[in-house]
A and B are shown apart, each in its own frame.
Chain A
């Protein structure tokens, strides 16, 4: 598991590459929660390099979303491959997360939400 960080405006983009499984998720979760703890409130997870996700990866997403909720932050997922998209769909998570086809769109939405131009109550369509 490799984790890349990038800051674009107020948005923190985190690229996760490889597999998010029971073995790798705990350390990735620590990493992400640490980022939230540092005060980042707009998080976009770039999944373009993520090949595989299991329930432990999904647990991680819920944990990060919950900790962001406390600080009124937002979490968006971007660029899901077929497998990751399928798992998130069959887990019933599409209604919980904002999911975008590309990183750019996720960033744009996050920033516009921030400015209050658009309500965030309706997450866009799943990838």
Chain B
């Protein structure tokens, strides 16, 4: 069932949900009409938005586990009820003239719908697009960024034609319908599913390893989680700060007219949304840490230059550039989390991370106002942001060096069974090609001790090398799926080599915890077609089968066990 779904339709469903909930950013369109109709204070009405964002953060942080447990379809359905009822409820609040009901409906219920609706499809997308994590989640989060751009004119039109109360009812029903229908298509792929053409390795369907994937509770005990959180927090805080000064600064310092400044603010939304998809797609190619380093390096430059320019075009260019980084900071986060902690509990970890957004949503405006008061100038706000970007840049560089810790007790380092017992010896190696020399030394020493002739030793070496290369390339494929430059984010998996002697044979076990794969199931190599398929798929396995006297494969409690048997 699950694997018959089209993953691009899944992506479309995710975009549908994000286009709905992203309309929260169009709240400002509601503010003046509400004040006019109800007589509530402007600040009180604006406060609804802050409640919604606060509950977005809270629900994302606390309901991530719910999303993991009940899956994206149920979570999305739940979100559509919360969000739809929240918005429609705002209409009732207006009709009955209760501002607390407005806070409860749009702020709390809507905010919960926002939080759950935000994380539910994203974690599913990451699982469907191991090869294009950034692009896929960028698409959805771009939907969030563009939502207000689409919703604002529609809302303005609706308020004029059907009135404020009915606008809320209509919007609630429409967003509920879009979110509910989109949610019904959401489902995670079957375990072990890989996109077509991505099965570069001979990967058979089977269980995917779950070891080394961090749970949310483990993730929050790592340093890198807090670094990620801080990077997002700084990026959002400074982004909000610059948005808050952009319009007045454009008018007072650059000399733009109010109309030009308003047009510029509209374009900000465009670059915020566009930056989300562009940076996220780019991150698939250059790696997530590099993208964040770019964000902070670019913004340090732009924030430095912004107060120095008096040219309207340069000013807007810099501002738009900053906005792409602001949006990109959001859209690259889910894929980054997938890279750092695996996809097992991505929704929960993503939810925790989004508290940085909620915190920045509160801190950003306060920070901007405080700096403004202290320094009395717009450039003061920008300089203060500049200071904050420096540690963020440093973090984006440091995060590359973090190991993926803490790990569950993955294989014991060296476990040598005394030779007198059964002449069996085993050792654990990291699953990376640079370990090959150590493997060869280990194998050769034992083959020599077993009294194998030099010619057979070379054959043993060959068979073992091919098996090891296979493990390094394919067994932990999900790890390598991180990006196209194979940036080493975290420690590779490991494998165990066990050697022993029988009366007439020398035997080697290679044990890995990677994707289930039986090399003996691979079709025999056709030498005729070798030159047409320059990647020479299956050549290593072909060599193993030809050179070893016997090859056996077993899948034992989630582990691949390949046994190579050489006659003495």
Contacts and interface: CB of A to CB of B under 8 A. Distances in A.
Interface of B is mostly: helix
17 contacts: A21-B436, A22-B436, A23-B434, A54-B466, A54-B540, A55-B536, A55-B540, A59-B536, A62-B530, A62-B534, A63-B534, A87-B462, A91-B525, A91-B543, A92-B525, A92-B530, A95-B527
A83 B540 contact: no
A37 interface: no
Contacts of A92: 525, 527, 530
B543 A23 contact: no
A111 B542 CA distance: 35
Given A62-B536, A63-B534, A92-B525, A83 B458 contact: yes
Given A52-B458, A92-B525, A93-B530, A23 B437 contact: yes
A56 B469 contact: yes
What 3 pairs between A and B have smallest CB-CB spacing?
Answer: A92-B527, A90-B546, A55-B540
A31 B29 CA distance: 64
Contacts of B468: 22
Interface of B: 433-434, 436-437, 440, 455, 458-459, 461-462, 465-466, 468-469, 525, 527, 530-531, 534, 536, 539-540, 542-543, 546-547
Given A22-B433, A54-B462, A59-B536, 15 more contacts: A23-B436, A54-B543, A55-B469, A56-B469, A62-B530, A62-B534, A65-B531, A66-B534, A83-B455, A83-B459, A87-B543, A90-B547, A91-B527, A92-B525, A93-B530
Contact of A22 (B458, B465, B525): B465
Contacts, number: 66
A82 interface: yes
A58 interface: yes
B465 A54 contact: yes
Contacts of A82: 455
A63 B539 CA distance: 14
Interface residues of A, number: 23
B465 A21 contact: yes
A96 interface: yes
Given A23-B433, A55-B469, A91 B539 contact: yes
Most buried by B among A22, A63, A96: A22
Interface in A42-68: 51-52, 54-56, 58-59, 62-63, 65-66
A73 B531 CA distance: 16
Nearest to B536: A59
A95 B526 CA distance: 12
Nearest to B546: A90
Nearest to B458: A83
